[in-house]
Amino acid sequence: MSPAPPLLHAILQRRSRERFDPVRPLPEPHLLSLLEAARLAPSSYNLQPWRFLWTMRGDPDFAEVLRALDPGNASWAGDASALVIGTFTRAGRRGRPNRWAEHDLGMATAQLVLQAVASGLGAHPMAGFDAERLRASLRIPSDLEPMTVTAIGWPVDESLPPRERLPLERITSRGRWPSGEER
């Protein structure tokens, strides 16, 4: 059997970091390149349900986003260079709701995160925030649903716990799903 090709470096390197350089700025074109990576993600019927709002450290809106984060997240995310809010629209084809909107925002966010890592940045998505507070302070319209805030910054050394994942056999099956006894 031929050996499997190696995984992408960015996939192996990516971790949800909590320590960022609190002074090094992120040039705007650099941040826009991450959003461009998100823009190129695949989506159901190419509906591109994602909409992103972003703020840079030092912007008044950055402080607003920080205030909407759960305290545990706010304790470290203030050192990030940028905070990117991922929202989606449910609007689908022929007036029907798009059942894959969250999925596709997730695909776009994954591309953003991996592009960040490939560019030497850290990117840490968060669900721990007050969506309605964020909606009010950033004037997010009612047809957009905020899903995640991703902190992006220049990583500094931190000791991270080992990655914990379910084994591949537990989350995959070739063909039909194994019955209870087989698992």
Ligand X SMILES: Cc1cc2nc3c(=O)[nH]c(=O)nc-3n(C[C@H](O)[C@H](O)[C@H](O)COP(=O)(O)O)c2cc1C
Which residues in this chain contact ligand X in the complex, by CB under 6 A?
Answer: 15-16, 73, 125-128, 148, 163
Distance CA 144, CA 177 (A): 36
Burial class (CB in 10 A: 0-12, 13-18, 19+), 50: buried
Q: Are 24 and 1 in contact (CB under 8 A)?
A: no
Give yes or no for a contact between 68 and 137, defined as CB atoms under 8 angstroms apart: yes
Rounded distance between C-alpha atoms, residue 129 and residue 1, angstroms: 47
Least separation in angstroms between CB 102 and ligand X: 10
CB 126 to ligand X: min, Å: 4
Q: How far apart are CA 164 and CA 153, in angstroms?
A: 23
Nearer to ligand X (CB atom), residue 120 or residue 178: 120
Residue nearest to ligand X (CB): 128
Beta carbon nearer to ligand X, 118 or 126: 126
Least distance between ligand X and beta carbon 16 (Å): 3
11 versus 93: smaller Cβ distance to ligand X: 11
Is 38:176 a contact under the CB 8 Å cutoff?
no
Q: How far is the CB of 76 from ligand X (least distance, A)?
A: 8
The b-or-e profile of 60-85 (16+ CB within 10 A means b, else e) is ebbebbbebbeeebbebbbbbbbbbb
CB of 87 to ligand X, least distance (A): 13
**Shorter beta-carbon distance to ligand X: residue 4 or 166:** 166
Nearer to ligand X, 12 or 27 (CB): 12
